[in-house]
Amino acid sequence: MTTRRVLLACDIDSQVFGALPLALAFAARGWSVTFAIESVRTLPQQLLERLTRDFAIIERSIGALPTEDVVFDQDAVGVFVTGSRLAMFRHLLELSSRVKERPRPALFCNFNGLVFEKFEEGLAWRLGYDVIGLNGPRDRDAFVDFLHSTQYSRQPSVIVGLRRKTDTPPRPLKIPAPKPEPDAAASDDGAPVDAETAQPSPEAAPAEADEPAIVAEAADPRPEDAEDAAPTDAGAVAEDPVEEAASDDAAPVEDAASTPTAAPKKLFVFAEQVVVPRSLRERQNLVSVLARLASASPDWQVVIKARTRPDEQTFHQQPNHISKLVKALRKKPRNLIVSYEPLDDLLDRADLFATVSSTALFDAFDYGVPSMVATDFGLRNADGAHVFFASGLLARLGDLKSLDDAPIRSPDERWMRRMGYGAPYSPDALIDWLETFDPDRPMPAAFVSFKSATHVASGSAAQAGRICEIWSGIETSLLPKDKAEPAAEEHEAAQDEAAQDVTTAAVERRAALFRLASLISDALGSAGPDRGAKAAPRRQDTGDASRHAHGRRQGGADRLVLPEARDVLVLQARARQARRPGPLKPAARRAVSAPRLPPR
């Protein structure tokens, strides 16, 4: 049986994180998984190491990727990029399939984690994909309500769920061991546990504080993706990670003062978000609360899991990196550290977890770690606090005397089902759909045109105009042309001429397609995958280690020539030779210096 292949195209690290659960599920179902990354060197080192360990990676311009043969070698392609690029990818793949006269792969996209706001706007960019992955019933209801009376109401979609470790079943909830008491039998500390389910009794779960929740003033608007309102962590400051590790006195989760005979400490992991909270004052308050809890909990190791190292880039920018704020503490507890260890490794050992609104909460569910949703900063929709409000896990970290007083509760089952966590929601629904895909099926109708998406995504109106001009020329050349029926004696000659015209037109269309890909690559490269952030310098090659084929600059226009374009140069030269009998001119010889194609 032939192994099915899927390509996951991602432009920034947060999109890679969003695609990882699907990659694990595809691999578990026997698919061969490849990641196409816009710029590998902009990925956090730990993420890159994880990808290279488990999957194949190629580095490509995501804007030009739909024109490459590697895409047409796949059974399915998943696209994880910003909204305008999503629409451009869809249109360019459809056009490339017609120009290349090759069946296209199934095309799908998802939402990158929980969507806190602007769901409908994000959905509009995605309309026209073969199938759209939704997180859960919450998204499905919004999907149906938004599209039910429109021409897009038949847009295919599936629920893929919010489980992060999709290749293994979730673990049961951990119940931390109570502190030793002189008379353990008489002690009633901690919540009673159901012996059959190993879950805390619902009626015994500690209640939230009676005081009403604080509703914060509207936060300053932040730059967001058009389609993904969920905060993604980012930011970098010019610090040396080695010095940062040294200042924390120890390896990521071990107290430097511990001795081999010391009792093992329980582990509390707080998942930091670079833009939640955003302001310096609130971030300082967060660090102060965690430092106080560490001082009041000597039997615990308190680990702040940083989203990125100070020198790493991601979508959002944050000058107040969490490590700087911890260093600035007047007295840092020895059991409080900032860690860059992989989240999976930390959760594997953790006894307690907390966050404000990070989707790392669902990673904690996978590992069975008791969790808290910190409400210390009030309720802000832009931060996603409203999405977690009914989770049953709300807690004010500032109100806890110590971590031993933290409530141990299971998340609310109704809330989890609505979000899409747990059975019956999983990526298997998407994979089942893709395995029955018919490549002859026309693509669903798109809401955003190629022209509109290009003007949003590109760096300038002039670039967008040139791209759309070539696009229109290719579209026009694909239209059927009506010709008068030739006389009988001219029929054979007309057939030969028509065949040559068809061949020439096909060659010219392929050449135009690669010119289009080159312009798109340049335009999106100058605009950057995240126009609100400072873009990292980009490599000029588009090759991978297996082919050693690099893009190259050619001509006064300084356009990137993709490796496959060399074949087009050969075809162009042959077409010119067919029209002009005689030896090739020197310039044409140079143009076809690449390996020749077999005769056609």
Same domain, 254 and 403: yes
3-class secondary-structure state, position 413: helix
Residue 536 DSSP code: P
Instruction: Write the CATH number for 347.
Output: 3.40.50
**248 plus 347 within the same structural domain:** yes
Q: Is residue 186 part of a domain?
A: no
Verify that 127 and 153 share a domain, yes or no: yes
The tokens of 519 are what?
């312009």
User: Quick check: 345 pLDDT over 50?
Assistant: yes
CA distances from 100 to 72, 137, 484, 568 (A): 10, 39, 27, 11
User: pLDDT tens-digit profile of 77-95?
Assistant: 999 998 899 999 999 999 9
Q: Domain of 348? A: 202-419
Are 463 and 384 within one domain? Answer: no
How many C-beta atoms surround the C-beta of residue 258 within 10 A? 15
- How many structural domains is the chain composed of? 3
Does residue 455 belong to any structural domain of this protein?
yes
Evaluate whether residue 514 is within a structural domain: yes
Residues 494 and 545 in one domain: yes
SS3 488: helix
Q: What is the DSSP letter of 183?
A: T
356 with 251, same domain: the answer is yes
Three-class HEC string of 284-334: HHHHHHHHHHHHHCCCEEEEEECCCCCCCCCCCCCCCCHHHHHHCCCCCCC
Instruction: Give the pLDDT band (50/70/90) at residue 525.
Output: confident
Q: Quick count: other Cβ atoms within 10 Å of Cβ 236?
A: 19
Q: How confident is the model at residue 129 (pLDDT cuts 50, 70, 90)?
A: very high
pLDDT tens sequence across 42-85: 888 888 888 999 999 999 999 999 999 999 999 999 999 988 99
Q: How far is CA 291 from the centre of its chain?
A: 32
Residues 209, 128 share a domain: no
* Residues 147 and 216 both lie in one domain: no
The answer to whether the CB of 348 falls within 8 A of the CB of 341 is no
- Asked if the structure places residue 291 within a domain, the reply is yes
For residue 502, is pLDDT > 70? Answer: no
431 with 355, same domain: the answer is no
Q: Does 564 reside within a domain?
A: yes
List the CATH number of the domain containing 160: 3.40.50.2000
| Average pLDDT, integer, range 450-475 | 92
Which pLDDT score is estimated for 526?
A: 53
The model's confidence at residue 404, banded by pLDDT at 50, 70 and 90, is: very high
Does 177 map to a domain?
no
Q: Give the CA distances from residue 515 to residues 59, 171, 216, 464, 467, in Å, rounded to whole numbers and listed in that order.
A: 20, 52, 51, 13, 9
Specify the pTM.
Answer: 0.72
Long-range residue pairs from 198-203, CB within 8 A, at least 24 positions apart, any chain: 198/172, 198/173, 199/172, 199/173, 199/410, 200/173, 200/175, 200/408, 200/409, 200/410, 202/410
Let me know: does 72 contact 66? Beta carbons within 8 Å.
Answer: no
> Is the pLDDT at 136 greater than 50, yes or no?
yes
Look at residue 480 and give its three-state secondary structure.
Answer: coil
Give the per-residue pLDDT at 381: 87
Do 139 and 152 have their domain in common?
yes
Residue 185 lies in a domain: no
Quick check: is 236 in a domain? yes
pLDDT in tens, 285-312: 999 999 999 999 999 999 999 988 877 6
pLDDT in tens, 176-230: 666 665 554 444 444 443 433 334 433 333 333 333 333 333 333 333 333 333 3
Q: Do 379 and 475 sit in the same domain of this protein?
A: no
Question: In angstroms, rounded to a whole number, what is the distance separating the alpha carbons of residues 221 and 217?
Answer: 12
Structure token digits, residue 193: 């546990």
**Angle made by CA atoms 161, 165, 168, in degrees to the nearest 5:** 105
Confidence (pLDDT) at 298: 96
Residues 253 and 104 in one domain: no
